[in-house]
Chains A and B, each alone.
Chain A
Amino acid sequence: MERMERRAALTGAGQSEVGRRLGRDPLELTLDACLAAIEDAGLTTRDIDGLSTYPGAMGGNPGFSGAGVTEVHDALRLELEWFSGGMERSGQLGAVVDACLAVACGLARHVLCFRSVWEGSAQGKGSRAGIGLSGGGGGGSFRASGPPMEWTLPFRAYSAVNWIGMFAQRHFHEYGTTREQLAGIALNARRNAALNPAAIYREPLSLDDYMSARMISTPLCLYDCDVPCDGATAVIVSHVDAARDLRKPPLRVEAVGTALRGRPSWDQFDDLTTMACRDAARMLWERTDLGPGDVDVAQLYDGFSFIALSWLESLGFCGKGEGGAFVEGGGRIARDGEIPLNTHGGQLSGGRLHGYGFIHEACVQLWGEAGARQVAGDPEVAVAGAGGGPLAGCLLLTRL
């Protein structure tokens, strides 16, 4: 059976202004990104007949969602054949995979996929230090209900940094991974961000800076955590038959990974040294004749540095447990290394665009549009993976 990926292509990518705290209407940022992607593909809003987004409109979690399907649909007066928005899918990029399915099945021809955040502004001045709760003794009127909050918050595990810190600690325990090694992820991101005008943190970061940074949740320090920001990203997924005469050479979707074979949980996953990326990556390689050695650039989720390490292992760029040694010093993952990683600065230095910065950068690198940070050698194959813990989804893109 022909794999559905053969009928899907990426034809445009766009991004809004990105900043620490822009104080701008998040819907406006979203639309800026959407219009940039549409123009990039050489399309108009009248050509867009599908919409797909993560996580969809939602309250709670201030700044976590800048816009849902309905707002974008109406603002652009789109005439849609298919649309979808929501969180219960294979990580953030699951919305892009769904768009591939929609065009492959003939439900739409050009699907606009977007993700927007305004966590920088929503979390206000200062850091994301507080969760808006205080006082001693019992927790007041708010009660945690359902997974994951019921099983984490009562134990004062307020943040994903606590949850990911435990995966990292188990990896350190089993494989001897060290903070000095893990630093390679953060320092590489900062070196790349220096060449990306849109990145949030661009000043040099040294190993000493990293090692002396304040601890957040062991073994993760400040520089192992990404930076909340405001910004939106969009890509266009087109049916291959509708992609041929557009502005740019279409990027073929060679394979996707959406599997979650372990328990869908932050604390019940069978192997505490890896995460759902293990399953998504395995599935990705099951759907293509290409292998990790064919990949020219890797854009892998670094909401926390350890997640990127886990993706590198999962995708087979190094062996299981060897991620620490692989990223140590940063040479292998540098722009001129074995597998250039997060060439835009990732979320650690580029800003927490929540998964979509990675697929945007994969496209930009394959189109040769990355400017000062462009990877040499005319990259032809890129992998983008997003999500940590029980979230994971990945796509392998090629220029061929």
Chain B
Amino acid sequence: MAEKPFRILPRVTGENEHFWCGGREGELRFLRCQPCGTYVHPPAPLCPDCLGKDLQVEAVSGRASVLTFTLNHHPWVPAADHPYAIAIVEIDEQPGLRLMTNIVGCPAESVHVGMRVRAVFEEHEDVFVPLFTPEGA
């Protein structure tokens, strides 16, 4: 991977650590409702579908599709890689299970809606930022 860009990191808490630090073990992790199987993101104390509180951390495959994206050209902070791709991806395991992320490891101009991607992680201090790269890369 190219030189790591500047990133504002998240404040890691007991509630979100599974998401922001799962990459230490190479895993993309979400809370999942044990009785009904619903993945919940962002993390919450209960399942929005059945309102149950039996949520456990589970890893997903990390396979996803790009729902939409934007190529950021504006130098909000100095960086060597403008434009870079910001995207919203949907995780294969559940329709609507999605997150904002960056698409890396390919030319920004090649990013497109429907692009198949897989999770990779960029380590910054205690955080492993979940990013996505083309499935075959």
Contacts and interface: CB of A to CB of B under 8 A. Distances in A.
A169 B113 contact: yes
A47 B71 CA distance: 52
User: A138, A142, A215 — which one has the most chain B CB atoms within 10 A of its CB?
Assistant: A138
A138 B10 CA distance: 11
B3 A136 contact: yes
B88 to A, nearest CB: 5
Interface in A251-271: 266-268, 270
B4 A156 contact: no
A134 B8 contact: no
A266 B68 CA distance: 13
B68 A156 contact: no
A311 interface: no
Contact of B7 (A150, A156, A219, A272): A156
Interface residues of A, number: 47
A173 interface: yes
B124 to A, nearest CB: 4
A272 B131 CA distance: 20
A144 interface: yes
Interface in A262-301: 266-268, 270, 272
Interface residues of B, number: 42
B10 A159 contact: no
Interface string B1-33: 001111111111000100000000000000000
A158 B4 CA distance: 17
Nearest to A161: B74
A272 B68 contact: yes
A131 interface: yes
A139 B74 contact: no
Contacts of B74: 129, 159, 161, 216-217
Contact of A218 (B12, B83, B127): B83
A169 B101 contact: no
Given A155-B100, A166-B70, A169-B68, A133 B42 contact: no
B69 A142 contact: no
User: B10, B67, B96, B131 — which one has the most chain A CB atoms within 10 A of its CB?
Assistant: B10
A238 B69 CA distance: 45
Contact of A144 (B5, B8, B75, B77): B8
Interface in A136-159: 136-139, 142-145, 147, 149-159
A155 B77 contact: no
Nearest to B73: A215
Contact of B96 (A139, A142, A165, A270): A270
Contact of A156 (B12, B84, B113): B84
Which 10 residue pairs of A and B lie closest in terms of their CB atoms, listed nearest first?
A165-B70, A143-B11, A170-B68, A153-B8, A145-B11, A158-B76, A139-B8, A218-B71, A138-B124, A215-B73
Given A143-B11, A168-B70, 13 more contacts: A129-B74, A130-B76, A134-B6, A139-B6, A139-B7, A139-B124, A150-B42, A162-B70, A165-B70, A166-B70, A170-B67, A217-B71, A268-B98
